[in-house]
Chains A and B, each alone.
Chain A
Amino acid sequence: MSEFDKIVSKGLGRRSLLQALGATAVGISFTGLAACSKEAAKEPTKSAATTRIAATGEEPKLNFYNWDTYIGETTLADFKGLGGAEVNMTLFASNDELFAKLRAGNAGYDVIVPSNDFVERMAAADMLVPLDHSLIPNFQNIAPEYQDVPYDPKRKHSMPYTWLTLGIGYRKSKVKAVPDSWKVIFDSDEYKGRIAVLSEAGDMFRLYAKYLGKSVNGLTKDDIKIIEAMMIKQKPNFKAFHEDNGQDLLLKGEVDLVMEYNGDIAQAMAEDDDIGFVLPKEGSQFNSDNLCIPKGAPRPKNAHAFINYLLDAEAGKKITETILYPTPNAAAKALMPDEYKNNPVVFPAAEQLAKCEYAKYNPELQPLYEEAFTRVRAA
């Protein structure tokens, strides 16, 4: 049981390594949270809010395929303590790995955590099991705006785990003004050689679309050509294409501006006061990581029970304390301290969020994005 404590005790953040426990030392805003997570690390607590998990009649085991450190310190132990299955959590590092691995067949995973566009893709490829909502009563804890989403109408195949938006992380002392527009990194040589952007073709093209004033899902083939030319023109100003370790580059001082997720930068801000985050005024893209059950899962009932547990308010609170990402779980959010709820980086203002959209999986455009991006990288 304690193996899971240790697996997840390394730190927080799905994609970065900035540990919540480190925040104890540094974070002004997060001191309260850190204290909570330290207590949680001492022993698995049984909170009054969670109820005993009913036996499912299946083998008490679960294979959970998740991102790194994307779970609470004691979540898995708590689940087992309440009568749930023993969870074996293995890690993957990117959505395409997940997809490539499961494409040929399910090697025994029960619960997986794909991002929104991959939920669409996998549902289209018939790789997901429709969820039985009657086994997931904690669905009511989810905030209404996440209960029905364009990429999974009526939550047929997925339950939301976290949500994120993309923005610009920057080093305050090195920028002349707050970079509140995508122009600063997409179309200007003001910070030549000090910019890092995502190496994900789809995200890059969609954000350029936002910069050009279009919808993320409204690009045409001509638009792609225009954007490709813009990228090639801007390329000398980029220092690197990062695979989601942008906050690391920022912290190390390799770059001063980085395109990153708000959750990652929030963690970086806990370690370094000189880091800031801004959601550009043109708007941005929504992302969301979701819990799904792949087809061929050996223990679907256990999977449902586990998903239900993760959506529980108290469990959700513990998870959020550890990973500090925005949570779609309204009940869990209510239990979090104010510094988290009011953190403008983690929960940007409503009018900013109104300009953000979910990316839709588009099987025709996706290969075009990739090819154009290959051309950009070869230029």
Chain B
Amino acid sequence: MALQDWKQHKRPFAAIASGPILWLLLFFLVPMTVVWLYSFGQNSGPAEISITGTLDNYKRATEWLYLSIFGKSLAVAALVTVICLVIGFPVAMAITFASEKWRPWLLVAIMLPFWTNLLIRTYALMMLMGSNGYANRGLGAMWDGASWLKTLVGLQPLEAWTPVQLLYNNFAVVLGLVYVHLPFMVLPLYSALDRLDKSLIEASLDLGAGHLRTLFKIVVPLAMPGIMAGVMITLIPALGAYLTPDLMGGTDSQMIANVIERQFKRANDWPFGAALSFLLIYAMFILVALQSMRGDKAKAGER
């Protein structure tokens, strides 16, 4: 699709561009610049920051301690994104191919859990997953049932049931994050799949390709912009999540956002928190830029 040159269409360009750009400038760039300046400053008193142009904060932020936490957060976020993609793609396909009657209801059904307060949902999830929670009770009941069956058959019963540690560990963090971010993956996927030309899929099936092959060779490449949007919408907030790891994580489930939060709150070290945040921002920015460059190359390659 040829991009229009703004010079040739100045009036519509101005009309379209002015709103978003002005807003971003005033209500985003200005506040962020202030914080960015803080990252070059230091605390001069409990509530004062003087901007001294120092790079100490950045030096500290690139120490191995913080880089390793960042790497771990990235790994967790990537895992969460992959799981969401695997779970969400069939759901998005199901919605796309559903009958006209059901489609909006399915969409709403997916979005609805996310209008509940995150904290409450997390607590409800924790209630299910605690040592005495329903998941463990259910598993315990099944275990006992299996044990009883074994005795019926004359075998030794199983050992006593010990609750599975479902909370306060990394498993809980991943589960919690998947729980929160799933709809953010489904929506863009649906949006892209919806526009897919179904006849292409039919043609592929007619020509003898199985469903899976059609999926990977036809559907996925065509839906790639949507997949990329979904991945970005999931990966980045997952990387910045701090409430879920805080509540559900164990002693070693510390993510980078928790550390940043600690700097702004407990440690009262806003310059350092700003430096850490901006390093995170730069890194993510590079990721997004790489991805959009790939997207442009792919588009150019199509021609």
Contacts and interface: CB of A to CB of B under 8 A. Distances in A.
A43 interface: no
Interface stretch (B16-24, B210-218, B259-267): B259-267
Contacts of A375: 65
Interface stretch (A93-101, A166-174, A330-338): A93-101
A377 B252 contact: yes
Interface string B242-265: 000010001110100001001111
Given A253-B131, A377-B251, A94 B265 contact: yes
Contact of A100 (B68, B259, B265): B265
A12 interface: no
B47 interface: yes
Give the interface size bracket for B toward A: 20 to 34
A252 B131 contact: yes
A371 B132 CA distance: 35
Contact of B246 (A201, A243, A253, A367): A243
Contacts of B267: 201, 366-367, 370-371
A370 B65 CA distance: 13
Contacts of A103: 47
A191 interface: no
Interface string A237-280: 01111010000000011100000000000000000000000000
B69 interface: yes
Interface in A105-140: 121-122, 124-127
Question: Most chain-B CB neighbours within 10 Å: which of A202, A239, A253?
Answer: A239
A88 B263 CA distance: 30
B154 interface: no
A124 B46 contact: yes
A379 interface: yes
A318 interface: no
Nearest to B272: A367
A190 interface: no
A378 interface: yes
B168 interface: yes
Contacts of A100: 264-265, 268
Contacts of A126: 47
B265 A96 contact: yes
Contacts, number: 74
Contacts of A96: 265-266, 268
Question: Most chain-A CB neighbours within 10 Å: which of B65, B72, B268, B269?
Answer: B268
A201 B251 contact: no
A252 B69 contact: no
Contact of B46 (A94, A252, A253, A363): A363
A235 B131 contact: no
A252 B132 contact: yes
Contacts of A374: 65, 69, 254, 259, 262
A24 to B, nearest CB: 25
A59 interface: no
B157 interface: no
A252 B262 CA distance: 27
A121 B46 contact: yes
Interface string B141-162: 0000000000000000000000
B251 A240 contact: yes
A200 interface: yes
Given A96-B265, A96-B266, A239-B168, A378 B65 contact: yes
Contacts of B259: 374
Contacts of A240: 168, 250-251
Contacts of A239: 168, 250-251
B130 interface: yes
A126 to B, nearest CB: 8
Contacts of A124: 45-46
B131 A377 contact: no
Nearest to A253: B132
A186 to B, nearest CB: 14
Contacts of A379: 252
Contacts of B264: 100
Interface in A121-164: 121-122, 124-127
Nearest to B72: A378
B130 A378 contact: no
Nearest to A196: B168
A366 to B, nearest CB: 7
Question: Most chain-A CB neighbours within 10 Å: which of B47, B131, B266, B269?
Answer: B266
B124 to A, nearest CB: 14
A225 to B, nearest CB: 14
Interface in B101-129: none
A370 B130 contact: no
Question: Most chain-B CB neighbours within 10 Å: which of A94, A125, A127?
Answer: A125
Nearest to B45: A125
A209 to B, nearest CB: 18
Contacts of B47: 103, 125-127
Nearest to A98: B265
B46 A125 contact: yes
Interface of A: 94, 96-97, 99-100, 103, 121-122, 124-127, 200-202, 235, 238-241, 243, 252-254, 363, 366-367, 370-371, 374-375, 377-379
25 contacts: A96-B266, A96-B268, A97-B265, A99-B265, A100-B264, A100-B265, A100-B268, A124-B45, A202-B266, A235-B251, A235-B252, A238-B251, A239-B168, A239-B251, A240-B168, A241-B251, A252-B130, A252-B131, A252-B132, A254-B167, A370-B267, A374-B69, A374-B254, A374-B259, A378-B68
